[in-house]
Amino acid sequence: MKKIAFVFPGQGSQSIGMGKELYERFPVAKAVFDAADEALGFSITNMCFNGPEDELRKTVNTQPAILTVSIALYQVLKENGLTPNIVAGHSLGEYSALVAAGALSFSDAVQLVRKRGLFMQEAVPLGEGSMAAILGSERQLVVEICEKAQVEFGSVQAVNFNCPGQIVIAGKTLAVEKATEMLKAAGAKRAVILPVSAPFHSTLMKPAAEKLAVELSKITINDASIPVVANINGQAITNKQEIEVSLVKQADHPVEWEDCVAEIINFGATTFVEVGPGKVLSSFTKKIAKEIDNLNVEDSNSLEKTLDYFKEVR
């Protein structure tokens, strides 16, 4: 029997209308949206389906919205007999992975990621922090140039090691701009400033991590029923104490996504299913491991394709 990995996307994958078809077709998906609205005390469902775009893009809304859509999709897959052997999620997606693994209740997770979004936004005033994607540069070079830029211009670090040739840096706005100039001069193919409202996963997120630790101490975290690969080190964990520690650290530490994918492959998974809006993680996986079968589920069409694939391989 093939081992299957479910991977869950993070911020940036949102789009208006996400999850609507599934909400209308599957009672289990509708139940997730209804539970999210109840837990949050407002209609995140309406925001997912109708926007407006500028509201959905706010971190404090994006995080619970993507989590809700991802878990609605997960429940539809589960109802159709498809469950993972191992899970992981990129940044915010790690919370979706932990819900899928039974470590967090959905109700706790959706409230937690809304607070996480708020804490991250509060940690750095709007406009004072930014992020940039560096394309076509070596990992070591990006780290070294960020260290140089940091000495001169303020806080900046490599924060997402997504796949070969794609690393994201984050920090103070000026420091990020200067680091991108230095990286281009050192041979990076492209450097793209990202449309985000805060420097996620950088050391500037320390205040957010501290507030998150307080919130995490108030909720029940269970041992995971299947391995969850942690962003902070690419290690598979199931222990509830380790899960709590890794979620706190995750806020102000880099996302080691390349290492996460390597760990999932090392575990023996040969098929990855991206569960949630967009196909960002699928594109990363293709660059990290070409031999892996890559599927995604974000709407009715992709759901049918994925279910058909598993009917054939079984």
The catalytic residues are: 91, 201
DSSP-derived letter for residue 170 is E
Are the C-beta atoms of residues 102 and 224 closer than 8 Å to each other?
yes
C-alpha dist (Å) from residue 155 to 31, 254, 301: 43, 14, 44
Sign of CA dihedral 193, 199, 203, 204: positive
- Cα 225 from Cα 230, distance rounded (Å): 15
Residue labelled with tokens 């897959």: 77
Torsion sign over Cα 287, 292, 295, 296:
negative
Q: How far is the C-alpha of 47 from the C-alpha of 280, rounded, in Å?
A: 22
| C-alpha span between 102 and 237 (Å, rounded) | 13
Which residue in 242, 243, 145 sits closest to 188, CA to CA? 145
